[in-house]
Amino acid sequence: MSDDSFIREVNEELRQDRARQIWDRYGLTALGVAAVIVLATILFVAWEWWTTRQANASGDRFSQALTLANEGQSEEALAELSALQEEGYGAYPVLARFRTATVQADAGDHAAAVASFDAVASDTAIPQAIRDAARLRAGYLLVDHGSYEDVAARVEALTADDNAMRHSAREALALAAWKDSQSDEALRLFDLIIADERVSANMRQRAQMMAELIRGTQEPS
């Protein structure tokens, strides 16, 4: 046997012996780790499938509720939305609560709609942006179905310069002030809307129209 062959055989025996030592020491642990990885992968895939299935089912039910509402079947839509609030998955229970208030308002039950929006606005488990949107929607409803104080209680905090919803909040509060014969306050708020460079063209146009109307009805000083 040549030296090279001898060295190769010795190296092979050493590798096999080393492999046996490694297996004796870590083999069962390696199998356990591999089993955990496989099981975790199976569970993750199963969870993704389940969550996707649940989200799709909730989305279908929400779409069905919207269809019922658009067709004027308010009671049926509210029943479906109520069930979705309890059984829905992901964001759909919150969307169902928000849409419930809209359906109630469209059906003429403004008190119930305001109460539903208020419930969303006071729920700290809901993202702040959605809570603020609920306050704003309640405020707009109360312009026609409540007092200036009712509107202010919901939207005044949203009129701050750094609030993304300030334009709509100022408009709602200005309309409530004008309805309550607080012309100066209404004019101040409409002028703030007009002066804000980030306001939409449509809202600025409405504010300008209302400001001109108020100035036209004020007695000369």
Angle between helices 166-179 and 128-145 (to 10 degrees): 20
pLDDT tens, position by position, 69-108: 888 888 998 998 888 888 887 788 888 898 999 999 999 9
Amino acid at 139: G
In the chain, the largest separation of any two C-alpha atoms, in whole Å, equals 122
Using only C-alpha atoms, what is the Rg of the chain?
32
Report residue 148 as tokens.
Answer: 């200036």
Which token pair is 166? Answer: 């300030």
Cβ contacts of residue 172 below 8 Å, gap of 6+? 136, 139, 140, 143, 151, 155
As given in the structure block, the two tokens for residue 86 are 């309890």
Distance between CA 165 and CA 146 in Å, rounded? 21
- Looking at residue 204, what is its pLDDT? 93
pLDDT band at residue 187 under the 50/70/90 scheme: very high
Q: Is 195 a residue whose pLDDT tops 90?
A: yes
Per-residue pLDDT, averaged over 211-221, amounts to 79
Helices (H), 71-88: 74-87
Is 14 or 163 the better-scoring residue by pLDDT? 163
Burial class (CB in 10 A: 0-12, 13-18, 19+), 172: buried
Written as six digits, the tokens of 162 are 């750094």
* Tokens encoding 79: 């029943």
Query: Which secondary-structure segment (H or E) carries 148?
Result: helix 148-155
pLDDT tens profile 39-74: 556 555 555 554 566 666 777 787 887 888 888 888
CA separation for the pair 121, 16 (Å, rounded): 69
Q: Is the pTM above the cut of 0.75? A: no
Return the SS3 of 15. helix
Indicate the residue type of 112. A
